Amino acid sequence: MDGKYIAIYRRFRPETFDKVLGQEHVVRILRSQIASNNTGHAYLFSGTRGTGKTTMARLLAKGLNCLSDGERPCGVCENCVSIKNGAFIDVIEIDAASNNGVDNVRELRESVVYPPGVGRKKVFIIDEVHMFSKGAFNALLKTLEEPPEHVVFVLATTEPNKLPATIRSRCLRFDFKRVSVAEIVKGMREICAEMDVRADDDALVLLAGNADGSVRDGLSLLEQCVSAGTGSIMRESVLEILGSPGDDLLSSLTDDVAAGRIAEALILLDEILAAGKDERRVIEEWIQYFHSALLIKFVKNPERIVNRSVESIDRIRKQSKRLEPAFINDCIYRLSKLLNDVRWSAHTRILLEMTIIEMGENATVER
C-alpha cells in the first residue's frame, strides 16, 4: 500500500448518496429536499453506531453547497472535495464530546449570525450531541428557535433520549437502522474489487453477519482479514479471525448431541477449544445455528431471514429434517440460559460440558 495508511472504513466513506448502504428512508427524503432546495434548518440523526450518521451529515452538507447542476452532492466539484477534506469554511463540525460547555455554544451562536463565506449554506454538524451540558443545550435551543435563513444544523447521536425534548421537537428526526447483511456484503464486495482483493461470498456473508448491523464494524473486520493478507479472503481465514467454530463443527456437534453420542460431543468440543476457539463464542454461534435450523425447518424459502450462504442453508436443511422441533427448542433454551449464567462465571467450559450432557440425555429420552 502506498502513502499514509488509512483504515478501510475511513477510506471508503460514501461521497455520494448512491454509495450509502441501507438507510433508504433517509436518502430518499434528503435527496428530494436537496433537489428541490427545500431543506429544513435542523436535523437530528439518531441510531446505532457505525450506520452512517456522520457520513449522512456530511452528504447533506455537501448537497447544500455542491456546485453541480445534476445530482447533488456530486462528490467531485470544488466544494464537495473541500468539504471532504475538512477545508470548507462554511461547514463546521463540532465534536460535542470535547466541546460540551456553554462557552462553546456561545462561540457557535456568534458565528451563526454571519452569512456563509463561499457556500450557499452554513452547516453546523454537532456530533455526539448527547454529550452537551445542560447549559450548552439551553444556549443551543435559543439558536434552534430562530435560526438565520442561511444556517442548517445537523445533530448526530447514538443516544437521542439524552437530548432535552425541547431540542428534539425542533429537529427533523431520522432514525438510522442497522444495515442488513446483504447490503453490507454488497459494500464489501465493491471495496474488495477496488482494492484488488479476492473474496468468497461465503466469507463476506460471515463477516457481515458478525457486524451486527454496523457497517463500520463490518469494515473493521474486513480490514483484519485484508491485513492478515494473502490477497484473498476465504471462509476459513474469516472463521479464524472471528474465533468462531464454523458451521461444519457445529453441525457435527449437533448431530452427536441429537443422537445422544455424549462422549463424541465432549471430545469434539475439546478439539474445538484446543484449536483456540472461544467458549462463549461457541455457545453464541451454536444458539444461532439452532435458530437457523429451526427457521429453515419451518420456512420454505428461508434465504431472506437466515443470514447464511445458500450452501450452508442447504446443509442445515438436510440436517434439520432429522431434528425434532422440541429438541431444537430445548437446546436453544439451555444454551441461552447457559450464555446468561456464564457471564459472571470462570467455569464456562465446565458449564458448557454439563449442558452438552443434558442436551444429549434429553435428546434420547422417550417423548
In the complex, least distance from residue 44 CB atom to Zn ion, rounded to whole angstroms: 25
Assign residue 220 a region: left if phi > 0, alpha if psi is -120 to 50, beta otherwise?
Answer: alpha
My answer on whether omega of the bond before 73 falls inside 30° of 0, hence cis, is yes
Total chain residues near ligand ATP (CB under 6 A):
23
10 binds ligand ATP (CB under 6 A): yes
Please report which helix (H) or strand (E) contains residue 351, including its range. Answer: helix 348-364
In whole angstroms, what is the distance from residue 101 CA to residue 112 CA?
A: 17
Please list, in sequence order, all residues whose beta carbon lies within 8 angstroms of the beta carbon of residue 74, skipping any fewer than 6 positions away.
Answer: 16, 66, 67, 68, 80
Q: Quick one: 31 exposed, middle or buried, by C-beta within 10 A (0-12, 13-18, 19+)?
A: middle
The residue among 91, 20, 90 whose CA lies nearest residue 56 is 20
With beta carbons less than 8 A apart as the criterion, state whether 173 and 201 touch.
Answer: no
**The binder of ligand ATP chosen from 12, 43, 132, 137 (CB under 6 A):** 12
**The binder of ligand ATP chosen from 15, 17, 20, 104 (CB under 6 A):** 20
In the complex, least distance from residue 70 CB atom to Zn ion, rounded to whole angstroms: 9
In the complex, least distance from residue 191 CB atom to Zn ion, rounded to whole angstroms: 22
Strands (E), 170-258: 172-176, 198-199, 232-233
46 binds ligand ATP (CB under 6 A): no
With beta carbons less than 8 A apart as the criterion, state whether 280 and 346 touch.
Answer: no
- Residue written as grid cell 441461552: 336
23 binds ligand ATP (CB under 6 A): yes
Which residues bind to Zn ion, rule: CB under 5 A? 66, 68, 73-74, 77, 80
In the complex, least distance from residue 119 CB atom to Mg ion, rounded to whole angstroms: 22
- Quick one: cell of 17? 448518496
| Binding residues for ligand ATP restricted to 274-333, rule: CB under 6 A | none
Beta bridge partners of 54: none
In the complex, least distance from residue 255 CB atom to Mg ion, rounded to whole angstroms: 45
State which residue, 32 or 111, has the beta carbon closest to Zn ion: 32
The amino acid that residue 145 corresponds to is E
- Quick one: cell of 186? 454488497
In the complex, least distance from residue 82 CB atom to ligand ATP, rounded to whole angstroms: 18
In the complex, least distance from residue 187 CB atom to Zn ion, rounded to whole angstroms: 22
Which residues bind to Mg ion, rule: CB under 5 A? 53-54
213 binds, among ligand ATP, Mg ion, Zn ion, none (CB under 5 to 8 A by kind): none
Q: Quick one: 200 exposed, middle or buried, by C-beta within 10 A (0-12, 13-18, 19+)?
A: middle
**The binder of ligand ATP chosen from 27, 50, 163, 262 (CB under 6 A):** 50
In the complex, least distance from residue 77 CB atom to Mg ion, rounded to whole angstroms: 24
- Quick one: cell of 229? 493478507
The amino acid that residue 281 corresponds to is R
52 binds ligand ATP (CB under 6 A): yes
For the CA atoms of 50, 56, 62, 64, what is the dihedral angle to 10 degrees?
-160
State which residue, 68 or 138, has the beta carbon closest to Zn ion: 68
Give the x-and-dash track for 208-247 against ligand ATP (CB under 6 A).
Answer: -------xx--x----------------------------
**The binder of ligand ATP chosen from 73, 75, 147, 187 (CB under 6 A):** 187
319 binds, among Mg ion, Zn ion, ligand ATP, none (CB under 5 to 8 A by kind): none
In the complex, least distance from residue 74 CB atom to Zn ion, rounded to whole angstroms: 4
The amino acid that residue 113 corresponds to is V
Region near ligand ATP per CB under 6 A, out of 15-23, 69-77, 113-121, 199-207: 15-23
State which residue, 3 or 86, has the beta carbon closest to Mg ion: 86
- For ligand ATP, the binding residues (CB under 6 A) are 9-10, 12-14, 20-23, 49-55, 156, 158, 179, 187, 215-216, 219
